[in-house]
C-alpha cells in the first residue's frame, strides 16, 4: 500500500458531508483516446499509485483481460480528495470503456454523474464514439468539459511545426464544437425545440450569474481594454468548448502534463507585466504580441499578418523546447538549466537516468502537473452533487413518454428531495443502483479479517430434513391432483404407491438440481461479493438498514391505493414482483481496485452497497418509501446483436445455469435466455463483449468448460418489386421469369372464402423511407399501438360477441383512455410529428399510398415492427391507429384484436426461414364474417380461428411476391496508415464488405475508412484485420442497418446462358439460399438440400476405377 492511502481515505470520508463540494463525474471518449491514462494521473495525485507508474499501470483496468488487451471493459469508480485554497472537495471519478461493445457500461456511469470529462485524441480527432458520448451527455443533461490529449504525439510523431500544431489542435476543437452545434440544433423526436431552448436558457443564466461575480472581481481597466478591442461581453458560445472559458485542458496523459489557458495567463501576467484577464482572453485565438516602438501590445489578426499566435509563441514553443532538449539533445547540463528556467528542481537520480521518457515525464509533470489542471477545471466547471435541477429530477423519475403529473402526488413531492440533496435522518432515502458487479472477497478491507462467511448468512442445505421431506410429499400429492384435474372427486383418495414413488422421484430430481444450483451460487459467493454501484440522491444510508428495493418496472400508481400507513404489508409484497425489502449489509467507498467500509453514506456520494444481491438484477432504485417511482431506464447506445448458444457437459449443467444467472445479474447489457429447444442462448454486443462473457462464465461464475456455438445471426425477410433484369443483367420478359409471381392475379392478391369468413388481401413492399422511419421510431410505435387507437366493440353488440369470442370480460375502454391521458405532451407531439413524417414519406412514394397513413391498422411484429397492416375494407370503417380508443358498432370489431394477433404472428416469422419480416405492407381489401344464422345466436367463430385465418392468409400473400432475405449490417470505422490500407481493403472485400468512404486525415498519413460489413461475415474479422495489418487496424463494429440481399433465394439457372454461366448445380453461388438453409437447419426446419445428389455418378465412378 502506498503511503498516503490512509490519509486519503479519512479525508474522503470527512468530505462526504458537504454535497456542495462533491463532484461526480465520468471520463468518456472513443476507444484508446487515453481515459485510463488520464485517470492514472488523478489517482496518483492522491497517492494511491506512485507517479512513476502513471500512464503505464492503468490502475482502473483491474481485470486480467483488460490489462492483456489494453482496453477497458467495465466502468469503475475511484473517490479522490482535492483542495483548492481553503475549500476541500470529494471527486468521485468513474473511468468508462471506449470500446463500442461496452457502451452499456458507459450508460451505467453517466447516470450516476453530474458532469463528464470528454477526452479527444488530437491525432485521431472526433471519432464515432466521441460523437456517441457527447450525445449521451446531452441526452442525460450532464455538463461536459474537454481534454485534448496526446499532444506529445503531435510534437514527437507527426513532427508538426509549432504553428501547424496550433492549427491542427484548433481544427480538432472546431470538430468537437461543430458536433456540439449539430446536437443543439437538431430537434430529435422526443426532445423538442422548446426543451432545447429551455436548457440553453437555464445554462446561460447559470453562467451569467457566475460571470457577474467574476466581473465584479476584475479590475476596471481590464474591462476597458476588452471593450477597446471589441471583444464581446456577452457571447453565445456557452455550450461550446472554449479555452478562454477554462473548460478545455491541453494534455499528454502519458507524459503527465496538462494545462488550461488560465494557468499560463497567470504565469505570463506576472512575467510580462500584462493584465491576467486580457491574457486569458487572448492566449487562445488569433492574437499576437507586437513590440512596435518598444512597447509590448496584444493585437488581433495573427493569421493575416503571418505572425505566431500567442498560444504558439508563449506556450507551444516552450513545450517544443522541453521535448527537444530532453528527447533530442539529451544533454544533462542543458536539461538542468532548462528545468531551472521552468522553476523545477529535478532529483539527481532523474537527471542521471538513461530513460529519456521518464526524465521528460518528471520534468513536465513538475512544470505543468496534469492532475491539478484537470481537477481545477472539474470543480470550477462541473456542477456539484447538490445542484440537481427540478427538470433533471423530473427526467430521472419519469420517462419522457409519460406526464409527470400523472404520478401520485406523494411521488411528485419527492422531486424536491432531489433538489434539496439533504442528508437529514428524516429526508426520504433515494438511491439509484446503475449496475451490480462482483469483487473478489480479498479486496474488502473488512472481510479480510472476518473470514469467509457467505453473504446470505444462511447455511447451505446439505441434506433434506424429515420434516422437509414430508412437506414435499404433501406438495407432490397436491401437484399431482392439480395435474390430473381431479382434485375435487379424488380428495381423500391416496395415490398408488408406484405413482407416488415416480412422482416423488421426479420432484426430488428437480429439487436436487435447484439445490445444486443454489450451492453453486453459494460457493461463488464465498469467493466473491456482489457490490451495487450506486449514488445516494437524498437521505442517508447505513449498514443494517432495511430498504425498499424497487425494480425498473415499479410504478407507484399501481400501489398507491394499497398503502397502509405509507408502507406495503408483507402480504402485498409477496404479490408484487417489482417491490422487495432488502437489508443493506455494508457500504463502501470505491477506490478503484479496493473498497473501504463506511459507517454511512450521505446524499451526493457514489458508493458500493453489499447485501442486496437477492433483490437486484442489473439495476434498481432504493428508497425508504414505495411511492418513489423507479428511475427511468438507462439510454442504451448499442443493440446487442451477437447471439450464441452456450453448452456444457450434462453434469455441469446446474453450474452453467447458476453461472448464467450470475452473468445476467452482473452484466448491464447481456441477455440470457432458455430457448424452447433447451439451448441456453446469450446475446452480446459484439465479439469482444462475447469473449468477456465467456471468460467470466468459465473462470468465475460457472467455473466449468463451456462450448460456444457458431453465432446465431438474425435475418429479416422482405419482398421487393418484380425485378426487371436477371442475374446476367438481361431484361426479364415473358417466360424468363424466375420468381413465384406467375399468378392469375397480376397484383398477387389472395382470396380466402371459408367457414370463418371471406378475406381478400395482398402484400406490397413498403416504400424504403417509410420502413426506415418505422425502424427508427420503434419505441414510439410501441406506445402508439399499446396506448392508442384500440378498438372496442360498441355497446349494442359487445356483450354477446365478446362472450363467444372467449375473452374474459370486455376490453376496458376506460383504462386504455386513461393510459392515453398519462402520455406526456412531448410524446403526443412526437407521435403527431411521426404521423406527418410518415404521411410525407407515403405521399412521396406515389399515388397508391395517398391516404395510407390514415388507413394504418397496426404495426408488426410486437406492435412496433417495421411492417404495416392497412385497412382498405369498405364495410369496416375502423378508426386509424392515430385516433383515440373508440367503441364501434361493427361485428368485425369484436375480432379486431384477434385479426391483429394473426398479423403479428405472420410478421414475426416469415416463410423463408421463420425470421421476422421487414418492410412489408399487408393491404386488407375485404374481410367479412359468414352470415349470421339468427340475430340472437352467435357466429360460432372462436378467436383462434380468426387468428389462423389472418396469419395464414397474410403468409400466403407474402409468398406470392418476390421474396428476399435482409442481412444485418455492421458499420465499421477503421483508421490506418497508408502502407496497410490495401491489405485492409482486401480483408473487407473477402467478407462481402463494402467501403462507403475513405479519406486521408488532414495533416497525417493515416486513412479514415468507413465500411459496411454483413454481421454474418464478421466473426473473427477484428483478429484477421489486426493480423494482416500488423496490429494497426482496430475496427469498431456497430450495428448500422438492415440491407436487402439482392439474390433471389429461389433462383435456379434456366436459360442457356445461365446454365453456361453457373452450371446445373448452382447452390454454391446462391448465397441467399445458403444463408436460409443454415438458419433452417439450426431451427430444425426442413431444407430441400439433398445429402447425396448424384448417387449414380458416384457408383459409375467407383465402377470405372
Ligand atoms: N503518446 C501518448 N500516448 C498516450 C497518451 N495517453 C494515452 N496514451 C496511450 O494510448 C493507449 C490507450 O490508452 P488508455 O489510457 O488505455 O486509453 P483508454 O481511452 O482508456 O482506452 P479504452 O478504455 O480501451 O477505451 C495506451 O497505449 C496509452 O499509453 C498520451 O497522452 N500520449
Ligand atoms: Mg480505458
- Alpha carbon nearest to ligand 1 atom 9, residue: 34
Query: Which residues are CB-contacts of 938 (< 8 A; sequence separation ≥ 6)?
Result: 800, 801, 803, 804
> 27: CA distance to ligand 2 center in Å?
9
Taking only the tens place, the pLDDT of each residue in 222-252 is 333 333 333 333 334 457 899 988 999 999 9
Mean pLDDT of the chain: 80
Tell me which residue of 45, 71, 46 sits closest to 58, measured CA to CA.
71
Taking only the tens place, the pLDDT of each residue in 745-795 is 777 888 888 888 888 999 999 999 999 999 888 888 888 887 644 555 444
pLDDT at 415 over 60: yes
pLDDT at 540 over 50: yes
Q: Which atom of ligand 1 is nearest to the CA of 31?
A: 25
- Alpha carbon nearest to ligand 1 atom 24, residue: 71
- Give the residue, out of 102, 116, 118, 254, with the most ligand 1 atoms within 8 A of its beta carbon, to mutate for a pocket test: 254
Lowest mean pLDDT across 319-328, 421-430, 961-970, 1065-1074: 1065-1074
Taking only the tens place, the pLDDT of each residue in 153-180 is 999 888 889 999 999 999 999 999 988 8
Q: Quick one: cell of 1038? A: 456497430
Neighbours of 270 (CB within 10 A): 9
- Alpha carbon nearest to ligand 1 atom 23, residue: 72
pLDDT at 1082 over 70: yes
- Give the residue, out of 27, 37, 158, with the most ligand 1 atoms within 8 A of its beta carbon, to mutate for a pocket test: 37
pLDDT at 695: 92
Query: Which residues are CB-contacts of 459 (< 8 A; sequence separation ≥ 6)?
Result: none
Taking only the tens place, the pLDDT of each residue in 278-320 is 888 889 988 888 877 777 788 888 888 888 899 999 899 999 9
> 28: CA distance to ligand 2 center in Å?
9
Which residues line the pocket of ligand 1, CB cutoff 6 A? Answer: 29, 31-37, 55, 58, 70-72, 97-99, 149-150, 152-153, 252-254
Q: Which atom of ligand 1 is nearest to the CA of 29?
A: 19
pLDDT at 1026 over 70: yes
pLDDT at 147: 96
Average pLDDT (915-940) is 76
> 259: CA distance to ligand 2 center in Å?
21
pLDDT at 667 over 70: yes
> 169: CA distance to ligand 1 center in Å?
18
Higher local confidence (pLDDT), 152 or 932: 152
pLDDT at 936: 41
Lowest mean pLDDT across 186-200, 770-784, 843-857, 873-887: 186-200
Taking only the tens place, the pLDDT of each residue in 7-31 is 555 565 677 888 999 999 999 999 8
pLDDT at 803: 37
pLDDT at 174: 92
How far is residue 289's CA from residue 336's CA, in Å, rounded to a whole number?
29
pLDDT at 723 over 80: no
Average pLDDT (934-938) is 46
pLDDT at 584 over 60: yes
- Quickly state the pLDDT bin for 467 (edges 50, 70, 90): low
Query: Which residues are CB-contacts of 518 (< 8 A; sequence separation ≥ 6)?
Result: 460, 461, 658
pLDDT at 566 over 70: yes
pLDDT at 1066: 53
pLDDT at 1091: 62
Helix/strand/coil percentages in the chain, nearest 5: 45, 20, 35
> 32: CA distance to ligand 2 center in Å?
7
Neighbours of 383 (CB within 10 A): 18
pLDDT at 187 over 50: no
Average pLDDT (901-925) is 92
> 126: CA distance to ligand 1 center in Å?
15
Average pLDDT (660-681) is 86
pLDDT at 46: 84
pLDDT at 100: 87
Taking only the tens place, the pLDDT of each residue in 979-1013 is 888 888 888 888 888 888 877 766 566 788 889 99
pLDDT at 918: 94
- Quickly state the pLDDT bin for 729 (edges 50, 70, 90): low
> 105: CA distance to ligand 2 center in Å?
12
Q: Residue 78: how many CA atoms within 13 Å on its side-chain side?
A: 30
Radius of gyration, alpha carbons of the chain: 34
pLDDT at 937 over 70: no
Which-ligand-closest: CA of 152? 1
> 37: CA distance to ligand 2 center in Å?
7
Lowest mean pLDDT across 377-391, 647-661, 691-705, 1062-1076: 1062-1076
Average pLDDT (489-508) is 67
The pairing of beta strand 994-1000 with beta strand 620-623: unpaired
Q: Which atom of ligand 1 is nearest to the CA of 251?
A: 31
> 152: CA distance to ligand 1 center in Å?
12
Taking only the tens place, the pLDDT of each residue in 132-159 is 899 888 888 889 999 999 999 999 888 8
Taking only the tens place, the pLDDT of each residue in 193-214 is 555 565 566 556 545 544 443 4
- Quickly state the pLDDT bin for 261 (edges 50, 70, 90): very high
* Predicted model pTM: 0.80
Taking only the tens place, the pLDDT of each residue in 56-93 is 888 888 888 888 888 899 999 999 989 888 888 999 99
Q: Which atom of ligand 1 is nearest to the CA of 156?
A: 1
- Give the residue, out of 34, 58, 149, 153, with the most ligand 1 atoms within 8 A of its beta carbon, to mutate for a pocket test: 34
| Strand ranges, E, within 700-826 | 707-708, 715-720, 750-754, 757-765, 791-793
Three-state DSSP class for residue 120: strand
How far is residue 822's CA from residue 824's CA, in Å, rounded to a whole number?
6
How far is residue 760's CA from residue 922's CA, in Å, rounded to a whole number?
10
Place of cell 508538426: 160
Which-ligand-closest: CA of 102? 1
Amino acid at each position: 500500500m502506498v503511503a498516503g492511502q490512509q490519509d486519503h481515505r479519512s479525508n474522503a470520508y470527512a468530505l462526504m458531508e458537504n454535497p456542495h463540494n462533491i463532484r461526480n463525474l465520468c471520463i468518456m471518449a472513443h476507444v484508446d483516446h487515453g481515459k485510463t491514462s488520464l485517470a492514472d494521473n488523478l489517482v496518483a495525485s492522491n497517492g494511491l499509485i506512485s507517479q512513476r507508474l502513471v500512464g503505464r499501470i492503468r490502475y482502473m483496468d483491474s481485470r486480467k483481460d483488460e490489462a492483456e488487451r489494453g482496453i477497458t471493459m467495465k466502468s469503475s469508480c475511484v473517490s479522490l480528495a482535492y483542495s483548492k485554497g481553503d475549500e476541500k472537495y470529494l471527486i468521485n471519478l468513474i473511468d468508462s470503456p471506449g470500446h463500442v461493445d461496452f457502451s452499456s457500461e458507459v450508460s451505467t456511469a453517466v447516470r450516476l454523474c453530474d458532469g463528464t470529462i470528454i477526452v479527444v485524441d488530437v491525432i485521431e480527432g472526433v471519432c464515432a464514439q466521441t460523437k456517441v458520448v457527447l450525445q449521451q451527455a446531452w441526452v442525460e443533461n450532464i455538463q461536459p468539459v474537454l481534454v485534448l490529449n496526446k499532444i506529445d504525439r503531435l510534437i514527437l510523431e507527426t513532427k508538426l511545426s509549432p504553428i501547424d500544431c496550433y492549427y491542427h489542435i484548433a481544427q480538432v476543437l472546431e470538430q468537437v464544437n461543430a458536433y456540439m452545434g449539430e446536437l443543439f440544433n437538431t430537434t430529435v423526436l422526443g426532445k423538442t425545440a422548446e426543451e432545447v431552448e429551455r436548457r440553453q436558457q437555464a445554462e446561460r443564466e447559470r453562467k451569467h450569474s457566475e460571470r457577474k461575480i467574476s466581473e465584479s472581481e476584475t479590475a476596471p481597466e481590464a474591462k476597458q481594454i476588452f471593450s477597446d478591442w471589441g471583444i464581446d461581453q456577452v457571447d453565445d458560445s456557452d455550450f461550446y468548448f472554449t479555452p478562454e472559458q477554462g473548460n478545455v485542458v491541453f494534455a499528454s496523459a502519458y507524459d503527465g502534463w496538462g494545462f488550461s489557458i488560465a494557468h499560463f495567463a497567470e504565469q505570463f501576467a506576472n512575467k510580462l507585466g500584462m493584465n491576467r484577464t486580457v491574457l486569458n482572453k487572448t492566449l487562445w485565438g488569433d492574437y499576437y504580441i507586437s513590440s512596435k516602438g518598444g512597447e509590448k501590445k496584444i493585437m488581433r489578426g495573427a493569421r493575416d499578418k503571418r505572425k505566431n499566435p500567442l498560444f504558439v509563441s508563449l506556450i507551444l514553443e516552450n513545450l517544443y523546447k522541453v521535448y527537444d532538449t530532453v528527447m533530442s539533445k539529451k544533454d544533462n547540463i542543458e536539461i538542468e538549466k532548462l528545468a531551472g528556467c521552468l522553476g523545477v528542481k529535478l532529483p539527481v537520480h532523474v537527471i542521471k537516468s538513461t530513460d529519456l521518457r521518464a526524465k521528460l515525464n518528471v520534468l513536465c509533470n513538475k512544470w505543468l502537473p496534469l492532475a491539478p489542471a484537470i481537477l481545477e477545471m472539474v470543480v470550477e466547471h462541473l456542477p456539484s452533487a447538490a445542484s440537481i435541477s427540478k427538470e433533471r429530477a423530473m427526467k430521472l423519475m419519469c420517462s419522457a413518454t409519460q406526464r409527470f403529473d400523472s404520478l401520485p402526488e406523494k411521488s411528485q413531492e419527492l422531486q424536491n428531495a432531489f433538489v434539496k440533496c439533504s442528508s437529514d435522518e428524516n429526508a426520504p432515502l433515494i438511491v439509484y443502483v446503475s449496475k451490480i458487479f462482483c469483487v473478489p472477497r480479498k479486496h474488502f478491507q473488512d472481510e479480510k479479517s472476518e473470514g469467509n462467511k457467505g453473504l446470505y448468512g444462511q447455511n447451505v442445505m446439505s441434506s433434506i430434513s424429515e420434516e422437509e421431506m414430508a412437506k414435499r410429499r404433501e406438495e407432490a400429492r397436491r401437484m399431482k391432483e392439480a395435474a390430473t384435474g381431479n382434485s375435487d372427486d379424488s380428495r381423500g383418495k391416496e395415490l398408488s404407491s408406484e405413482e407416488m414413488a415416480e412422482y416423488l422421484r421426479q420432484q426430488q430430481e428437480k429439487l436436487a438440481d435447484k439445490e445444486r444450483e443454489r450451492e453453486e451460487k453459494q460457493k461463488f459467493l464465498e469467493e466473491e461479493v456482489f457490490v451495487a454501484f450506486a449514488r445516494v440522491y437524498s437521505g442517508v444510508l447505513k449498514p443494517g438498514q432495511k430498504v425498499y428495493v424497487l425494480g425498473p418496472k415499479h410504478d407507484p400508481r399501481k400501489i398507491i391505493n394499497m398503502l397502509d400507513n405509507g408502507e406495503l404489508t408483507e402480504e402485498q409484497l409477496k404479490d408484487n414482483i417489482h417491490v422487495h425489502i432488502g437489508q443493506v449489509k455494508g457500504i463502501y467507498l470505491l477506490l478503484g481496485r479496493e473498497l473501504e467500509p463506511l459507517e454511512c453514506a450521505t446524499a451526493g456520494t457514489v458508493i458500493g452497497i453489499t447485501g442486496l444481491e437477492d433483490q437486484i438484477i442489473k439495476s434498481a432504485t432504493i428508497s425508504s418509501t414505495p411511492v418513489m417511482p423507479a428511475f427511468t431506464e438507462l439510454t442504451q447506445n448499442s443493440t446487442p446483436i451477437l447471439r450464441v448458444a452456450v453448452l456444457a457437459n450434462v453434469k455441469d449443467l446446474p453450474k452453467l445455469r447458476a453461472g448464467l444467472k450470475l452473468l445476467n445479474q452482473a452484466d448491464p447489457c447481456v441477455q440470457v435466455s432458455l430457448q424452447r429447444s433447451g439451448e441456453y442462448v446469450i446475446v452480446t454486443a459484439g465479439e469482444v463483449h462475447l469473449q468477456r462473457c465467456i471468460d467470466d462464465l468459465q473462470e468465475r461464475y460457472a467455473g466449468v468448460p463451456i462450448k460456444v456455438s457458431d453465432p446465431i445471426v438474425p435475418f429479416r425477410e422482405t419482398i421487393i418489386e418484380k425485378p426487371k433484369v436477371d442475374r446476367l443483367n438481361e431484361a426479364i420478359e415473358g417466360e424468363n421469369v424466375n420468381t413465384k409471381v406467375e399468378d392469375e392475379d397480376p397484383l398477387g392478391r389472395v382470396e380466402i372464402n371459408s367457414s370463418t369468413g371471406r378475406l381478400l388481401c395482398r402484400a406490397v413492399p413498403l416504400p424504403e423511407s417509410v420502413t426506415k422511419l418505422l425502424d427508427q421510431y420503434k419505441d414510439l410505435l410501441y406506445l402508439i399501438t399499446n396506448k392508442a387507437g384500440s378498438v372496442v366493440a360498441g355497446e349494442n353488440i359487445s356483450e354477446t360477441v365478446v362472450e363467444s369470442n372467449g375473452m374474459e370480460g370486455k376490453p376496458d375502454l376506460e383504462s386504455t383512455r386513461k393510459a392515453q391521458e398519462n402520455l406526456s405532451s412531448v410524446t403526443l407531439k412526437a407521435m403527431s410529428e411521426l404521423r406527418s413524417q410518415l404521411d410525407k414519406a407515403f405521399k412521396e412514394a406515389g399515388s397508391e399510398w395517398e391516404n395510407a397513413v390514415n388507413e394504418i391498422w397496426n404495426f408488426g411484429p410486437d406492435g412496433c415492427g417495421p411492417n404495416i397492416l392497412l385497412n382498405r375494407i369498405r364495410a369496416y370503417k375502423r378508426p386509424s391507429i392515430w385516433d383515440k380508443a373508440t367503441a364501434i358498432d361493427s361485428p368485425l370489431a369484436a375480432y379486431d384484436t384477434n385479426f391483429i394477433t394473426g398479423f403479428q404472428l405472420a410478421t414475426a416469422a416469415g416463410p423463408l426461414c421463420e425470421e421476422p419480416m421487414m418492410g412489408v405492407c399487408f393491404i386488407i381489401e375485404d374481410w367479412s364474417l359468414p352470415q349470421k344464422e339468427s340475430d340472437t345466436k352467435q357466429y360460432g367463430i372462436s378467436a383462434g380461428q380468426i387468428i389462423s385465418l389472418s396469419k395464414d392468409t397474410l403468409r400466403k400473400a407474402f409468398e406470392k411476391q418476390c421474396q428476399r432475405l435482409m442481412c444485418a449490417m455492421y458499420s465499421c470505422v477503421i483508421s490506418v496508415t497508408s502502407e496497410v490500407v490495401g491489405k485492409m481493403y482486401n480483408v473487407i472485400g473477402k467478407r462481402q464488405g463494402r467501403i462507403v468512404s475513405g479519406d486521408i486525415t488532414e495533416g497525417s498519413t493515416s486513412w479514415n475508412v468507413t465500411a459496411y460489413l454483413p454481421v454474418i461475415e464478421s466473426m473473427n474479422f477484428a483478429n484477421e484485420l489486426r493480423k494482416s495489418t500488423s496490429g494497426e487496424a482496430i475496427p469498431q463494429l456497430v450495428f448500422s442497418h438492415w440491407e436487402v440481399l439482392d439474390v433471389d433465394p429461389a433462383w435456379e439457372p434456366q436459360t442457356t446462358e445461365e446454365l453456361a454461366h453457373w452450371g446445373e448445380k448452382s447452390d454454391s453461388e446462391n448465397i441467399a439460399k445458403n444463408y436460409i438453409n443454415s438458419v433452417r437447419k439450426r431451427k430444425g426446419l426442413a431444407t430441400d438440400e439433398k445429402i447425396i445428389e448424384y448417387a449414380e455418378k458416384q457408383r459409375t465412378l467407383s465402377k470405372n476405377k
